[in-house]
Structure 1
């Protein structure tokens, strides 16, 4: 089962990447059985915490989002995550030969590498149930660092490239990931101007 890889990537990542390369799971199956499930953790937890738990500013009143606003933002976040994983997987495949992937080119490898590298970020979504901004920022920063390391570690194994090419390849992919992140921020601002911004209430 694809979800078994989530645990393996934290305990024995090299062996898990080798299994993932052999698996060649079709992109559609990867999305349905892995990305759609794990990607839903953060939006669901964010909805619960922002609409029903709330957070405080300077230890004073509790601030929440309206349920409609929380649902809208959670759905948009979920869609952005799905698009982001696909875009990163596409970039991995697109740049493969540039960095020495002369072995078999399997389209699912790039999507698999992107999806499984994002596993720490998916699981970090549980931290949103404790809506304290500095705590959430630290958890997601740690998850992003481990996800970047997973990608660097998995590139030579999954894509069949020399290890000395993995640093440059991973650097290029992290640049792509940052572009995707900035694009989602810009998209958020545009959508907020069309009335899909957060609506706050006092708890």
Structure 2
């Protein structure tokens, strides 16, 4: 599992070809990948927001209480895993439209491996500095989009032109998913998941 993640980061074209040749039972095992990798940003941000905190200007460090951060981080973890599973389902659902042979596990595996830069960028939460986290986040998003556009045609075994359209449709689904998570966050704040700050 980790070998595929490292391969996707450092030699993406050949690694996507290796993933495309995997037997179905190996692809099914990759469904666990996002569940494991989503722990990295969750743990990082829990530690960073409760022990290090962040500053605005020259003020004191702002920290969350452990209870508040625990609730938010658990929801954050499930949002990450749920987003990967949801987008993976849509990859499978749209595959017939683009002439690809797919399964839900294959869709989740593609999306999970594509999100690897985002999971790794989440480690920046160990030391939350707004400007640095924004730069790391933008680079991670760009790399993930590149991996998606590169990987979809290879793994789905479709022409590059059709793969481009397929990947663009997946990006649209991702944007909808981000919006849903933002709306869900606001709703959950009203139900008691709002951040509580230390004095």
Q: Distance in 2 between matches of 1:111 and 1:47?
A: 26
Among 155, 166, 174, the alignment partner of 1:169 is 166
**Cα distance, 1:67 vs. partner?**
0.2
Q: Which residue of 2 aligns with 1:8?
A: 7
Q: Is the 8 A contact 2:31 2:105 kept in 1?
A: no
Structure 1 residue 31: Cα displacement: 3.4
Residue 133 of structure 1 deviates from its aligned partner by: 1.1
Please give the alpha-carbon distance, in whole angstroms, between the structure 2 residues aligned to 1:31 and 1:67: 30
Cα deviation for residue 26 of structure 1 reads: 4.5
2:66 is the counterpart of 1:67? yes
Which protein has the bigger strand share? 1
Deviation, structure 1 residue 151: 0.6
Q: Specify every segment of 5 or more residues in structure 2 that has no aligned partner in the other structure, as ranges.
A: none
CA contact (8 A) 1:72 1:196 kept: yes
Q: Which residue of 1 aligns with 2:107?
A: 110
Contact 1:100 1:162 (8 Å CA) reproduced: no
CA contact (8 A) 1:42 1:122 kept: yes
Name the structure 2 match of 1:128: 125
Contact 1:41/1:122 (CA < 8 Å) preserved in 2? Answer: yes
Partner of 1:42: 41
Q: CA RMSD in A?
A: 1.2
> Does the 8 Å CA contact 1:21/1:109 hold for their aligned counterparts?
no
Which stretch of the first structure deviates more once superposed, 109-118 or 15-24? 15-24
Q: Aligned pair 1:30/2:14, yes or no?
A: no
- Which sits farther off after the overlay, 175-184 or 161-170? 161-170
Query: What SS does structure 2 have at the residue aligned with 1:56?
Result: coil
Q: Partner of 1:98 in structure 2? A: 97
Which of 170, 181, 185 is matched with 2:182 structurally?
Answer: 185
Distance of 1:109 and 1:48 partners within structure 2: 33
Please give the secondary structure, in 2, of the residue aligned with 1:100: coil
Give 1:174 deviation, angstroms: 0.5
What residue ranges of structure 1 are gaps of 5+ in the alignment? none
SS in 2 for 1:64: coil
Report the Cα distance in structure 1 between the residues aligned to 2:88 and 2:35, rounded to whole angstroms.
15
Q: SS state of the match for residue 201, structure 1?
A: coil
